[in-house]
Amino acid sequence: MSIPRHWREIPRRYRLEAGKCKKCKVINFPSRLVCPECGGKTFETVKLSGKGKLDTFTIIRVAPEGFGDEVPYAVGIIDLKDGVRLMAQITDCDPTTLKTGDKLVAKFRKVQEDGKNGIIKYGYKFVPDVGV
Amino acid sequence: MRDVAIVGVGLMKWGELWEKSIRDLCVEAALSCFEDAGNDKIDSIVVGTMASGLLTGQEHMANMVPDYLGKKHVPAMRVESACCSGSQAVRTAFMEVASGMSDCVLALGVEKMTDVSGNDATYALATASDQEFEAFHGVTFPGLYAMMARKHMEQYGTTREQLAEVSSKNHRNGSLNPHAQYPFPMTREQVMNSTLVADPLRLMDCSPITDGAAAVLLVPATDAKKYKKHGMVVISGVGHATDTIALCQRKDMLKMEAVTLAAKAALKMAGKTIKDVNFAEVHDCFTIAEIMIMEALGIVKPGQGGPATLKGLTALEGKFPVNPSGGLKSKGHPVGATGVAQICEAVYQLRGEAGKRQVKNAKVGLTQNMGGTGGTSVVHILEAK
Amino acid sequence: MVGISGYGTQIPRYRIKVEEIAKVWGTDAPAYRRGMNLNEKSVPAPDEDVGTLSVNAAYNALARSGIAPKDIGAVYVGSESHPYAVKPTGTMVAEAIGACPHVHTASLEFACKAGTEGMFIGTQMVQAGRVANVLAIGADTSQGAPGDALEYSAAAGAAAFVISTKNIVAELLDTDCYMTDTPDFWRRPYSHYPAHGGRFTGEPAYFKHVEGATNAMLARAKMKPSDFDYVIFHQPNGKFPVVVAKKLGFKEPQYRHGLLTPVLGNTYSGSSPLGLAATLDEAKPGQLILLVSYGSGAGSDAFIFKTTKRLLEVRDLAPRVRKQLDEHKYYLEYGQYAKNRGKILRAE
Ligand SMILES: [Zn+2]
């Protein structure tokens, strides 16, 4: 898979950087050039808290290529405290015990790797917020 | 704007068509459409395909189709909106005829999906989602719809049995459709006992991988009288709307606003309300999708899609038949062809040519096709005249 | 004053018990428990590696330090299981914490001593005034060959330390080191698993260097074992650090907080640094800590730290080691463990 495509997203994937609209103060993740709320075009870079609640989720049993070894794994939509919603894997848990509303926190993990000889793509995943 | 009529439809039996290439599929559907219309003099072609490049290595289908159809020099273009590509082709052809730019346009939808491995097909389909912020994380399309299903179940109390009935009902209809890929019945128990794909969705909640094509021929309504073979069917309304590409960016992911807005525009153009519609062909890529679409179209109130399905509202003999063709689930889902095939089915129904799956007193039909997780939707209103 | 301004750790959630490994290889589990003082070990999740453990430990260290990421002048990651043979781990850590681009990074390797190497270099750089703050990390997802004695201990974990001149929680009083060329454990390029000299790893390797560094450090600082409140030795198993502690005249209350291997396994570059972190979790202000690492090949680094009042103020800004070690654990069967660790031969 494309190296530049991953490299370009490093601020989002590694640091959860988002764009806060200077006009309406809404935080957009990923950051955009035009604010979908107010049409504003100037933004301030902010770092998301990485803390939130599970809005909905699924357990992937039939995975896309490259994810097959990880099944079953959970992917969910997380409502962050910052008013942002994003999609990510939920790891470090038995996915069958997850419940919507669970408190989650972001961790830095491997998301994909291009086989054994390609690059490793790191990024955010979420884990149950149990203080470990 | 001129009124537009459909004077020809062309389909084939869909399935895993190992012997047929993407060009064979296109030509076969088009020829069948010409035969249905009794005419092959066309001014222009619009091809809808989602991922011919990823799935067959062939882009430039807008060149391939006229060439192999024996229509060298005829202008052709390709449109793409993921699984909504087919109805985009019809909508584009409609605009061409309505505007007066062309007098006879072929709208063709195609997808050849079995030339690649299951993994590669999954990858191609996943390109309809947000690559960097959805697909990157290992989510699949069943997974995205499963998240909607879980939310719908938790918010409205929709049950597994209600979801299963969507599949079961569509298989009942599809078993009456000679073009269907899987023309056999499927019980609710079979659906509920099938393999888990992405909780809570199971294999039999999901539309299959299919090879297929479909074609329709559009002319000004004033010219349609020349085509005396069949009863006349017009496209009286066209609506199209979009939403966020990423599911998580929607304020209420259960609403399917693109579907609601497209339907609103199409019905307004036709001067109708949903109550005037006798049947609908909708995009049941997953069982939960049909339930949410019923709600978004206003056939039922939000949250009532599941119970209404179980009570038989949308069955062939119900008050509002949905997917008399068998839907994507039973008929198959060659993604770029689906939107065109929905139009074909509506035409069969409005002409009274749908055989055993004929909806009684079908005068006004609605087709709803969508791409991604509902980020694009096109709705057509068709009427028998 | 130079010292540690923040410390943080990350231990994976997965564990495997020695019985589960012994069952597969037909060995005597009680012997490992008694003889080596090993009960279970941590196993990295399939989506964890030295990069992710380092970054998550670094977040915790930064939270306690109160130092802004952009003020980190250098990032050193010591490991024998860096994710890439060629490509620095440090740039990824620096990028993740937001320290790039005005930062120096290096990937260090010295078997189990690579973690304290970063601390050694970092403290000297800050002392020299070259940079204001250094992030030094010891992390490993070490591999023991299937059936080898190392398989019962090779574990995963990371400890990160911010070395600064302000916000100090443990002041560095002095350092020393002791090294010779001793081939007791190694891994050649392209080899998946390390090899070792069996009993040769004991007396002429571990004990000689740990004792050598400890004695040199005590002589240099003009101190004796009883002067210390705590001592942490590298812990390849639960037995060696206890033997060396007793031999040198240290008592159980001094080493018990830092002795993690019996339930963690040997986290290699993370081993003695994790022991230091666990000790900082318990220490009171004004206490003296002796840290002595060991890396095969071979050598030991020694450090004397004195805790400050600030330690109590920042301790709860990140998870304690015992919490990461003892809570929310998932036990693996050998098959799952073998799959996760890439020990199963598969089709290309
Ligand atoms: Zn704004």
Give the integer Cα–Cα distance in Å for C187 and C143: 11
Contact of B122 with chain A, judged by CB distance below 8 Å, is answered with yes
Rg (CA), chain B: 19
Residue C328: inside a domain:
yes
ipTM of this complex > 0.95? yes
Measure A19 CA to nearest chain C CA, in Å.
16
- CA nearest neighbour of B240 among B53, B56, B375, B385: B375
Three-class DSSP labels, chain B: CCCEEEEEEECCCCECCCCCCHHHHHHHHHHHHHHHHCCCCCCEEEEECCCHHHHHCCCCHHHHHHHHCCCCCCCEEEECECECHHHHHHHHHHHHHHCCCCCCEEEEEEECCCCCCHHHHHHHHHCCCCCCCCHHHCCCHHHHHHHHHHHHHHHHCCCHHHHHHHHHHHHHHHCCCCCCCCCCCCCHHHHHCCCEEECCEEHHHECCCCEEEEEEEEEECCCHHHCCCCCCEEEEEEEEEECCCCHHHCCCCCCCHHHHHHHHHHHHHHCCCHHHCCEEECCCCEHHHHHHHHHHHCCCCCCCHHHHHHCCCCCCCCCCCECCCCHHHHHCCCHHHHHHHHHHHHHHHHHCCCHHHCCCCCCEEEEEEEECCCCEEEEEEEEEC
- CA nearest neighbour of C303 among C245, C208, C230: C230
Beta-carbon separation of C47 and A14 below 8 A: no
Inform me whether the pLDDT recorded for C32 exceeds 90: no
Which of A61, A64, A75 shows the shortest C-beta gap to B197?
A61
User: What does the pLDDT read at residue C331?
Assistant: 98
Inform me whether the pLDDT recorded for C348 exceeds 80: no
- CA nearest neighbour of B26 among B214, B300, B168, B169: B214
**For strand A17-21 and strand A43-47, is the pairing parallel, antiparallel, or unpaired?**
antiparallel
User: What does the pLDDT read at residue C163?
Assistant: 98
Q: Structure pTM?
A: 0.96
Contact of C335 with chain A, judged by CB distance below 8 Å, is answered with no
- Do C74 and C129 belong together in one domain? yes
Inform me whether the pLDDT recorded for A1 exceeds 80: no
Find the helix packing angle between C271-280 and C114-127, rounded to 10°.
60
- Do C176 and C87 belong together in one domain? no
CATH class of A49-132: mainly beta
- Do C237 and C113 belong together in one domain? no
Banded pLDDT at A36 (limits 50, 70, 90): very high
User: What does the pLDDT read at residue B225?
Assistant: 87
Find the helix packing angle between B257-270 and B287-297, rounded to 10°.
50
SS3 A121: strand
Contact of A43 with chain B, judged by CB distance below 8 Å, is answered with no
Cα-based angle A43, A46, A51 (whole degrees, multiple of 5): 135
Q: How far is the CA of A84 from the centre of ligand 1 (A)?
A: 13
Domains in chain B, CATH or no CATH each: 4-117+210-226 (3.40.47.10), 119-206+235-384 (3.40.47.10)
- Do C130 and C215 belong together in one domain? no
Inform me whether the pLDDT recorded for C128 exceeds 90: yes
Instruction: Enter the tokens of residue B14.
Output: 């869909």
Which of A89, A94, A122 shows the shortest C-beta gap to C52?
A122
Decide if B381 contacts B364 (C-beta within 8 A): yes
- Do C134 and C267 belong together in one domain? no
- CA nearest neighbour of C235 among C121, C157, C175: C157
Please report where in the chains the tokens 């209420």 appear, as a residue.
B252
Which of A62, A100, A112 shows the shortest C-beta gap to B136?
A112
Sign of the CA dihedral A84, A87, A89, A90? positive
- Do C124 and C19 belong together in one domain? yes
Backbone φ and ψ for B186, nearest 5 degrees, come out as -145, 120
Q: For B368, how many CA atoms within 13 A lie in the half-sphere containing its CB?
A: 38
Nearest-Cα residue of chain A relative to residue B146: A58
Decide if C183 contacts C271 (C-beta within 8 A): no
Which of A92, A120, A131 shows the shortest C-beta gap to C45?
A92
Banded pLDDT at A116 (limits 50, 70, 90): confident
Find the helix packing angle between C89-97 and C50-65, rounded to 10°.
40
Around ion ligand 1, which residues have CB less than 5 A away? A 21, 23-24, 26, 35, 37-38, 40
- Do C205 and C165 belong together in one domain? no
Inform me whether the pLDDT recorded for C344 exceeds 80: yes
Write the Ramachandran bin of C52: left for phi over 0, alpha for psi from -120 to 50, otherwise beta.
alpha
Residue C335 belongs to domain spanning: 3-169+312-340
- Do C250 and C220 belong together in one domain? yes
Give the integer Cα–Cα distance in Å for B132 and A9: 8
Residue C347: inside a domain:
no
Contacts of B153 in chain A (CB under 8 A): none
Contact of C96 with chain A, judged by CB distance below 8 Å, is answered with yes
Give the integer Cα–Cα distance in Å for C234 and C243: 12
SS3 C81: coil
Question: How does pLDDT run along chain B (385 residues), one tens digit per residue?
Answer: 999 999 999 999 999 999 999 999 999 999 999 999 999 999 999 999 999 999 999 999 999 999 999 999 999 999 999 999 999 999 999 999 999 999 999 999 999 999 999 999 999 999 999 999 999 999 999 999 999 999 999 999 999 999 999 999 999 999 999 999 999 999 999 999 999 999 999 999 999 999 999 999 999 999 998 887 888 999 999 999 999 999 999 999 999 999 999 999 999 999 999 999 999 999 999 999 999 999 999 999 999 999 999 999 999 999 999 999 999 999 999 999 999 999 999 999 999 999 999 999 999 999 999 999 999 999 999 999 9
Average per-residue pLDDT for chain C: 97
Give the integer Cα–Cα distance in Å for B353 and B359: 10
Contacts of B373 in chain A (CB under 8 A): none
Chains that touch A (3 or more CB pairs under 8 A): B, C
CATH number reported for the structural domain that contains residue C16 in this entry: 3.40.47.10
Beta-carbon separation of A110 and C13 below 8 A: no
Question: One of B83, B104, B206, B344 is an active-site residue; which one?
Answer: B83
Give C45-84 pLDDT, tens digit per residue. Answer: 999 999 999 999 999 999 999 999 999 999 999 999 999 9
Task: Name A28's bridge partners.
Answer: A19
Cite the DSSP H helix spans in chain C: 18-25, 29-36, 50-65, 89-97, 114-127, 208-221, 240-248, 252-255, 261-264, 271-280, 310-314, 321-326, 334-340
Beta-carbon separation of A86 and B132 below 8 A: no
Q: Is residue B344 annotated as part of the catalytic site, yes or no?
A: no
What is the domain count for chain C?
Answer: 2
User: What does the pLDDT read at residue C135?
Assistant: 98
- Do C179 and C285 belong together in one domain? yes
Residue C51: inside a domain:
yes
Instruction: Enter the tokens of residue C180.
Output: 């010779």
SS3 C181: strand
